[in-house]
Each structure stands twice: as structure tokens, then as C-alpha cells.
Amino acid sequence: MAENLLNFDAEQLTAWFAQQGEKPFRARQVLRWIYKNGESDFDAMSDLAQSLRSKLKETACIVAPKVMREELSEDGTRKWLLDVGTGNAVETVFIPETDRGTLCVSTQAGCALDCAFCSTGKQGFSRNLSTAEIIGQLWWANREIGRASDGNWPITNVVLMGMGEPLANFDNTVSALRLMLDDNAYGLSRRRVTVSTSGIVPAMDRLRDECPVALAVSLHAPNDALRDVLVPINRKYPLRELMAACLRYLERAPRDFVTFEYVMLEGVNDSLQHARELIALVRDVPCKFNLIPYNPIPQAPYRRSSAEAVRRFRDVLMEAGIVTTIRKTRGDDIAAACGQLAGQVQDKTRRTHRLMEVGT
């Protein structure tokens, strides 16, 4: 079967070329064609020998996931639903702003971590995306949107905040990250690529050692009792361990702070007492906060905190010296906002079934 070259980071592509008896600089040339030019046709790779082009046409291909549907929001946000086979779909969201274009990328079909307020989690886990399916989202979206007036690709920032937990699909995620950063591919700065994690502590340490990029941590609660309920992975890696992992990460991170994401749930985690508890929790961790207005999903009982409650919460954090922003909800009208990315993923874990069986 033809090898999909989007599955290889630079090192892996060089190794694959070596297996074919080709020199490393050939791999670099091909990488540049694929990512700098957005090329998928080997015949167009004009600086490769004709014999190599013919060989690649037989042994390799360059294929991103198939787009099933595109939606455009009134605010310019674009969402693509991508077919990743066997009844699975994932979503990619492009968020244009005046000074940058951000792509929100998915890393898994579904998610096994089952956070209480997240529609991806409510679907259960289906499977990990391949490197080609992860980097293919960026490759395809850049080509689809087209170059900006300065000739650069429109996507300047990438956040791994779509469907799935990136650190639970570690190897493929890291290969995709390396392509985002590689000078022969997209050449993005480490500061412009953000991994968001619910807090898988050992994988945070590996990311720090293998491919440090900007880090966002989905905190959502100021104490273990509440976080155990909202973000169940907390039962395995409680807050004390998570805070220590953040500090270790910062030793090698491209930014000198961690971004804590905090979804605002009315009457659940949004009181001023919660804010004060948070301040004590993160006292030793250089951080910023991003407060996310909850986007309601049908499978969860929560309500969005009022704008007033969110502002008061922010003010308390700010008075304690913590830079705090309130996330604008974007793409609401096309269900592209945080946590609303549902796709059409089958529940391979049959969680719904199991829960019914145990009567919860």
C-alpha cells in the first residue's frame, strides 16, 4: 500500500527515504514541497529527478482526511467536519482575528477522559488520529483558505484544543507538533503552538523533554473534591501533582507561564470563595487564567455563569496579580465553540451502555 507521507515528521521521512536508497536532502526537498507549497502531486515537484518522482508515485501518497462538510459562522469562524473512516468524524475550526489566524485541531476521535461538561467526552473514545490526520488538518486548512496578501499561509497559531486529549495520543501528536515547528515544514514558533491537556502528569513531563510548546491546562476546579467530579483524570493525578508538573514543565517551556483554562459553571465552580481557593492553589505557579463561558451541551446539567459572575471572578484573580482573560465565544451559531465539537463518533467504549447496566 502507498505510504502516506503526511504520517512522517522530518526524521521519520529521512529514515523512510534512506530505506528507499535516497539521500536525506531529498526528504527535505519533499517536505518543503508538501508543507511550504501545499503540494500533493509528485509530478509538480520539479526539482526532483524524474526517476524519483515516478518511484514516489508508485510507493507514496499525500492524503489529508476527507472533508464531509464545511460551515461558516457569521463571525468568520470556519468549521470542517472530517471523515476519519469507519463512521468516525472529527472537527477542525479556523478562527480568524485581525493579527493572526488560529486553527483548533483535533487529536482523537472521541475522548476517554469523560469530563462532566464536554460533548467529546460524552461520546466515549473511538480511536487515536494518525499523524497524517492531525497535521493533515493544518495542511488542508492552509490550502483551503489560501495564502494571505503577504504570501504567507493564513494559519499563524495552532491550538490542540479540538476533540480529544492530545497527550493521550502522544507519539502521533508529537510527530505532528514537530512538523508544525520544522523550518522545512511550517516553521511556527514554539510559542505559537499550544497543547491543551486535562492534566496527564507523566505525559506532561515527556512533552517537556521531547517537544516543549506552549502549555494550557484545563483546571476547572480549585480543589480535588470538585475536580474529581468535573475532570475525572484528577482522581489519578490530583492537584498537588498537577501543580508540581506545571512547575517542571516551565523549566523548559517556550513561555514563562502556564495558561489555566477554567470553564465557568453557574453555582458549581464560580463563587468568589472558589476564586480565592484558586489563588491559593496556584500561588507558586507562574500562570495566566482563561475563563471560558460554558457552552451548554444536552448531555450535562450545567448552566453558563452570568457575565456578571464571570467578571467578578476575573476581578478577584486580577486583584491577586493573575492576568485573566475571558474567552470570547466564537462560532456559537455553528456549534464550533469549545466543548461543542461532537462530530459523529460512535461510542466504541459503549459507555452509555455500561452506565445503564450499573444503574448510574
**Pick the catalytic residue: 91, 133, 165, 261?**
91
* DSSP-H helix ranges across 195-298: 201-210, 224-230, 239-250, 272-281
- Taking the C-alpha atoms of residue 338 and residue 329, their distance in angstroms, rounded to an integer, is 8
> Catalytic annotation on 104?
no
The pairing of strands 89-96 and 78-83 is antiparallel
Residues sharing a CB contact under 8 Å with residue 203, sequence separation 6 or more, in sequence order = 167, 168, 170, 197
Residues that bind ligand SAH (CB under 6 A): 115, 117-118, 161, 165, 196-198, 218, 261, 263, 292, 294-295, 297, 338-339
Cell reading at 59: 510507493
Closest C-alpha among 261, 143, 132 to residue 194: 261
- The residue within the footprint of ligand SF4, chosen from 91, 165, 182, 270 (CB under 6 A), is 165
Closest CA to 82 of 155, 33, 141: 141
Query: CA–CA separation, 315 vs 324, rounded Å?
Result: 8
Which of 28-36, 113-121, 209-217, 293-301 is the region at the interface with ligand SF4 (rule: CB under 6 A)? Answer: 113-121
Task: Report in angstroms how near the CB of residue 11 gets to ligand SAH at its nearest.
Answer: 26
Find out whether 202 and 168 touch, Cβ atoms under 8 Å. no
**Nearest distance, CB of residue 357 and ligand SAH, angstroms:** 26
Comparing C-alpha atoms, which of 341, 321, 306 is closest to residue 95?
A: 341
91 belongs to the catalytic site = yes
The one-letter amino acid at 229: V
- Per-residue x/- marks for ligand SF4, 69-108, CB under 6 A? ----------------------------------------
Binding mask 116-155 for ligand SF4 (x = CB under 6 A): --x-xx----------------------------------
Q: Choosing among ligand SF4, ligand SAH, none, which partner's interface includes residue 114 (Cβ < 5 to 8 Å by kind)?
A: ligand SF4
What's the first-to-final CA gap in the chain, in angstroms?
46
Dist CA 117 CA 232 (whole Å): 11
Q: Choose, by CB under 6 A, the member of 9, 114, 261, 270 that binds ligand SF4.
A: 114
Q: What is the dihedral of CA 67, 69, 70, 73, to 10 degrees?
A: -150
**Contacts with ligand SF4: how many residues (CB under 6 A)?**
11
Residues in 192-251 at the binding interface with ligand SF4, rule: CB under 6 A: 198, 218
Shortest CB 85 distance to ligand SAH, Å: 21
Measured from the CB atom, the residue of 26 and 227 that comes closer to ligand SF4 is 227
User: Which lies closer to ligand SF4 via its Cβ, residue 167 or residue 316?
Assistant: 167
- Grid coordinates given for 210: 521531547
* Selected binder of ligand SF4 within 113, 253, 275, 278 (CB under 6 A): 113
Interface with ligand SF4 (CB under 6 A): 111, 113-115, 118, 120-121, 164-165, 198, 218
Q: What residues act catalytically? A: 91, 338
